[in-house]
Amino acid sequence: MKRLRHKQEIIFLFGKLFKQLRLYNKSMKLQARAQEVITLLEKEYPVFETALDWEEPWQLVAAVLLSAQTTDENINRVTKTLFKKYPTPQAIANASIKELEQDIYSTGYYKAKAKNLKGMCTALVTEHNGVVPDSLAQLITLPGVGRKTANVVLHVLHDKREGIVMDTHIARVTHRLGFTKEKHPLKGEQTMMRILPNTQWKEWGDLLIQHGRKVCHARKPHCEKCVLSDICPTGKTILKTRAKTTPHPES
């Protein structure tokens, strides 16, 4: 009886060890693939600067907050006038909501954005002496500031890494590359934070956002000309399907 229990314990321990080895192997493969993605995309996009125009730290927060669901070019057009009209966060805090709505109308979702912009500037002035906080925990308490905006601000303004920027482009490409089964940006962020060292968290976002905008489009990704097509599971499936459905030139 005692020998049998001993044998069962050994089998159990071996099972546990095998499982851990499999997980370790999987994680090493993901890490290696993530490094390959970075190396390939670095060659494609050697330079990255945030495309949003700003001079004062609070203006960066405002610009990122307004940038949801529209292009950086559109935001730059709007903020050029906006920051002249309201040169300080106090000025925006004092503005009427109706006027702010008109000022940012062309950015879309103008009612919610105007409310958040005024709320964010009011909180900056009343709770932070007009200074943009340098921690994720404090930043996400500002109205309209979620993890994405907070991570952009931490990376660009404070050179700090508390997370990875996961906007829709970055989340989509991360998912298509097979690093996460779930499409939710937070899941993508958590997964990549486990796979990559924090020194590469900013790089991941900078490279994937460019790739998502230029090649891996939401509706019709250009897998045929994508440098990641050899290591992208989604790309392989898409290319196979397209090859089957594209009529042969001689048929």
User: Interface with ligand SF4 by CB under 6 A: which residues?
Assistant: 173, 176-177, 215-216, 221-223, 226, 228-229, 232, 234-235, 238
The two most distant CA atoms of the chain are separated, in Å, by 85
Catalytic residue from among 103, 113, 118, 148: 148
Token pair listed for 55: 């001079």
Nearer to ligand SF4, 116 or 234 (CB): 234
Taking the complex as a whole, the smallest distance from the CB of residue 151 to ligand SF4 amounts, in Å, to 22
- Taking CB positions, which residue lies at the least distance from ligand SF4? 235
**Residue 167 bears catalytic tag:** yes
Taking the complex as a whole, the smallest distance from the CB of residue 224 to ligand SF4 amounts, in Å, to 8
CA-derived radius of gyration, the chain: 23
Taking the complex as a whole, the smallest distance from the CB of residue 226 to ligand SF4 amounts, in Å, to 3
Taking the complex as a whole, the smallest distance from the CB of residue 164 to ligand SF4 amounts, in Å, to 17
Nearer to ligand SF4, 170 or 216 (CB): 216
Phi-psi region of 54 (alpha: psi -120 to 50; beta: other; left: phi over 0): beta
Catalytic residue from among 103, 113, 167, 206: 167
Task: Report residue 81 CA to chain centroid gap.
Answer: 28
Outline where the chain has alpha helix (H). Answer: 2-44, 57-66, 72-85, 89-94, 97-103, 110-128, 136-139, 147-158, 168-176, 185-195, 201-214, 233-245
**Residue 72 bears catalytic tag:** no
Beta carbons within 10 angstroms of residue 145's beta carbon = 24
Nearer to ligand SF4, 132 or 208 (CB): 208
Q: Which amino acids are annotated catalytic?
A: 148, 167
